[in-house]
Amino acid sequence: MIEAVGLVKTYGRGRALDGLTFTVGKGVTGLLGPNGVGKTTLIRMLATVLAPDEGELRLLGRDPAGDRLEIRRRLGYLPQEPGYQRGFTVFEFVDYVAILKEMVERRARHDEVRRVIEEVGLTSVSGKRIRTLSGGMRRRLGIAQTLLGDPELILLDEPTVGLDPEQRLRFRELISHIGQDRAVVLSTHQTEDVAALCNRVVVLKAGRCEFEGTPEEIRALAEGRVWFSAEKSGVLSWRTGDGLFRNIGPAPEGARLAEPTVEDGYLLLLGGTAAEAAA
Amino acid sequence: MSTWHMDDGLAVRYADGELNPTLAASVEAHLLACDQCRSLLAPRVPRSRLDRVWAEVADAVDTPAPGPFERLLRAIGVHDHTARLLGATHSLRLPWIAASTVALLFAALASGETTRWGLLSYLTLAPILPVAGVAVAFGRDGDPAHEIGLAAPYSMFRLMLMRAAAVLTSSSALALVMGLGLLDDDWTVAAWLLPSLALTSLTLVLSSRFDPRHCGAAVAATWLVVVVATNLREPSLAMFGGAGQAGYLAITFVSVVLLFFRRKEFS
Ligand SMILES: [Zn+2]
């Protein structure tokens, strides 16, 4: 679905992407990394909004520089800030995007709009104005418009930010549902999202791909490197509820081995300083 | 309760929509009150017809009512999807049009005064309105789905041109009506037209590189400064004379050409 080799994007003197190489297939893929690591730049590039300065990118088997239109027809994209016009109703907004997706014939378009609204469970608020919706519902609305025309590739930029735990749970359900028979790429800085719903992860660090694999493989990186002990030690450690320290790194004296999580593996990947910043 | 009931033949003809309107209406009135006839009729209504009627009802309920501008566009033959895209533009909606009308009204009333400054204020304001309208239409919050739209197959350049044309047309119509209504009808009534085109197309070209709102503000401010500076000593309509108009035409031409070459910047 996506093949990227050596992507570079420069802003002023900074490099948002610095030789990024990775691939994406069917299923849900997470782009994991701390804030400001170039995730949004990358998602916009995959959405054909930005072009890379260097490197090779193939989306859905095509070159975005030449075949942009064809890619856009098979793509759904939810930016981090979609800029909803708050006076629009749910139906109006999705209908508007459907027109931008070249759905010209009115009756067929309206049927498709109703279908995607139903798919994300917003049918009962279809006539409500966007400003009256909760944050979770707005996020669902954002997902609804990506489903228009049943695209093969769906891109979601930080889709779980700002949701409370319950909304987050239901939202993950929705994403894993839509990721069943197509490719979904989402960016996130939360390892929970990755552990809960991605079957592949690309970890970004300083504009490069630090790791590519399954969440289980990230977790396995921390196997035998997470310890409980009475004293602080290791690359990173913090006190847990029962008074012991949970340490990542070499074993401290008298330590007891702990079961690692995806988070542990991720923190190890980021390394000491970045790990502190992320924690 | 009625004394008559539907027979099979009548039910079939009603279900097929073959009754004349008067008879159909009285059958409907009866159906509302009579269980027996409803159950006689139900199996005779074709499923496909019910589905079609239901789809129409659902569509009528969901479909948002178009605003006045959208209705106007449809009335003059614009496709309904295009009217939808244009109707969502801030500067083509009622509050914006109303504000423009008030501003122009004041300027036009001022030009009733005998001093040249009065007429100048009208001629100066009229070209600023489309510039402001364009800046608002393409600013970050101008489109209901800005960033999503950038990744959609619809050409943003085409949408931008359509919006600019619509904004220019609506503000020009407004200025013309106001001018004809409130001013002596000589050439001055339309002297703002070329300046309007020049400033608007200039704003569009600049928008290919900078934030449209900043471009609009810069172009409008420059225009105001030029007007005030040239008329400070002695207000005159020289800026709107033949040489001036030729200049505006040239600016328009160059801007449109540049716009064409920079069209890729918009998508
Ligand atoms: Zn009866």
Q: Is the pLDDT of residue A117 over 80?
A: yes
CA-based nearest residue to A229, from A242, A220, A216, A210? A242
Residue A82 to residue B148, Cβ atoms within 8 A? yes
- For residue A85, give the 3-state DSSP assignment: coil
- Residue B115: the pLDDT is 61
Would you call B60 an interface residue with chain A, using a CB distance cutoff of 8 Å? no
pLDDT digits (tens, 9 = 90+) for A169-224: 888 888 988 988 899 999 998 888 888 889 999 999 888 898 999 999 999 888 88
pLDDT value, residue B96: 77
Name chain B contacts of A48, Cβ cutoff 8 Å: 151
Residue A82's pLDDT band (cuts 50, 70, 90): confident
pLDDT, one tens digit per residue, over A152-178 is 999 999 998 888 888 888 888 889 889
Q: What local confidence, expressed as pLDDT, does residue A275 receive?
A: 47
Chain A's closest residue to B55, CA to CA, is A111
Whether residue A219 contacts residue A262, with contact meaning beta carbons closer than 8 Å, is answered with yes
**Residues written for chain A:** 279
Residue ranges for chain B with pLDDT beneath 50: none
Say if the Cβ atoms of B85 and A77 lie within 8 Å. Answer: no
Helix count and strand count (H, E) for chain A? 10, 13
For residue A74, the distance in angstroms to the closest alpha carbon of chain B comes to: 9
Mean pLDDT check: name the lowest of A32-41, A75-84, A133-142, B84-93: B84-93
In this complex, is the C-beta atom of A41 within 8 Å of any C-beta atom belonging to chain B? no
Are the CB atoms for B262 and B208 separated by under 8 Å? yes
Burial of A29 (0-12, 13-18, 19+ CB in 10 A): buried
H or E element, residue A226: strand A226-229
Q: Which of B80, B140, B153 sits opposite A101 (nearest CB)?
A: B153
Task: Write the DSSP string, A112-164.
Answer: HHHHHHHHTT-GGGTTSBGGGS-HHHHHHHHHHHHTTT--SEEEEESTTTT--
CB contacts < 8 Å between A and B, how many? 91
Question: Residue A279: its pLDDT value, please?
Answer: 46
Which B-chain residues 140-169 have CB contacts (< 8 A) with chain A? 140-141, 143-154
How confident is the model at residue A278, as a pLDDT? 46
Q: Tokens 């093949």 correspond to what residue?
A: A3
Q: Is the pLDDT of residue A141 over 50?
A: yes
Written as six digits, the tokens of B7 are 């027979």
**Chain A contacts of B58, Cβ < 8 Å?**
114
Please indicate if any CB of chain A lies within 8 Å of the CB of B80: yes
Given a contact cutoff of 8 angstroms between Cβ atoms, the answer to whether A270 and A204 are in contact is no
Q: Which domains does chain A have, with CATH numbers?
A: 1-74+152-214 (3.40.50.300), 81-149 (no CATH), 219-278 (no CATH)
Residue A8, classed as helix, strand or coil, is strand
CA quadruple B53, B55, B60, B61: dihedral sign: positive
- B59: chain A residues, CB-CB within 8 Å: 107, 110
Contact call for A145 and B85, based on CB within 8 A: no
Q: Which residue has the tokens 């178009």?
A: B66
**How many Å lie between the alpha carbon of A203 and the closest alpha carbon of chain B?**
25
pLDDT tens, residue by residue, B179-230: 777 776 677 777 888 999 999 999 999 988 888 888 999 999 999 999 888 8
DSSP-based three-state secondary structure for B65: coil
Using a CB-CB cut-off of 8 Å, the residues of chain B touching A49 are: 147, 150-151
pLDDT over 90 at A72, yes or no:
yes
Nearest Cβ partner of B153 from A69, A93, A111? A69
pLDDT given for residue B2 in this prediction: 52
Give the pLDDT band (50/70/90) at residue A79: very high
Q: Do A77 and B151 touch (CB under 8 A)?
A: yes
Mean pLDDT, rounded, of chain A: 87
Four-residue CA torsion sign, A174, A130, A78, A93: positive
Determine whether the interchain pair B149/A100 forms a contact, defined as Cβ–Cβ distance below 8 Å.
yes
Mean pLDDT score, A74-99: 88
